[in-house]
Structure 1
């Protein structure tokens, strides 16, 4: 996976989609909501096993900034103030390939906890 890196990162005009093209020719469109609720930040993932937080009400979240972090990742800032997630190239690729399954699991967690994605 260390041989895979993005050749292009582009935020859509409505700021609700991050398009990522990789050097092997694959590309993915990653919704802002998915990026926000599956953020690799400690705020979402917690500091250890069993500490993950299910973040509700982010259906309308937008991407404010994509900030390079070294040569291995970007930090994504959202319009709700969250900006601590460091998205490695490998994690962006994982979200592109498995994001649908991961987001479905998130939606199931929301339902189980009586929470919603918001408006």
Structure 2
């Protein structure tokens, strides 16, 4: 797992999709990523999800239909995303967003594998 969270990457575009289900992030090196809301929610850098140590990290189920309802700047180094489940405590730095985009395939598969191993679902249990 990469822990690079560099501020050397600078965003040139940050756009929430009309359906609020993805966030487009483009960077000054030409890289661009369309990050699904579910992926952003389950990889939130918040202590609620990541814990205060690797052993405390949580696998978050039931977020398949989550939407982003707010994108708020945090200084000039990050954004705070607000989700429709009212989760809003993660600060997504530019380096972390880049890391999420560049590692999407591997990180998403690891999440799906964790859900399966724990008997959890992407769908919200009603």
Same fold (TM over 0.5): yes
Deviations 1:18-63 (A, max 9, x none): 0001111211100000000000000000011300011000000000
RMSD (CA atoms): 1.0
For the residue of structure 2 that corresponds to 1:55, the secondary structure is: coil
Within-5 A mapping of 1:1-119: 1-118=6-123
Where has structure 1 moved over 3 Å in runs of 4 or more? Answer: none
The normalised TM-score by structure 2 is 0.91
**Count of residues paired in the alignment:** 119
**Residue of structure 1 equivalent to 2:3:** none
Alpha-carbon distance, 1:7 to partner: 1.1
For the residue of structure 2 that corresponds to 1:87, the secondary structure is: strand
Paired with 1:56 and 1:2, the residues of 2 have a C-alpha distance of: 30
Q: Which runs of 5+ in 2 are unaligned?
A: 1-5
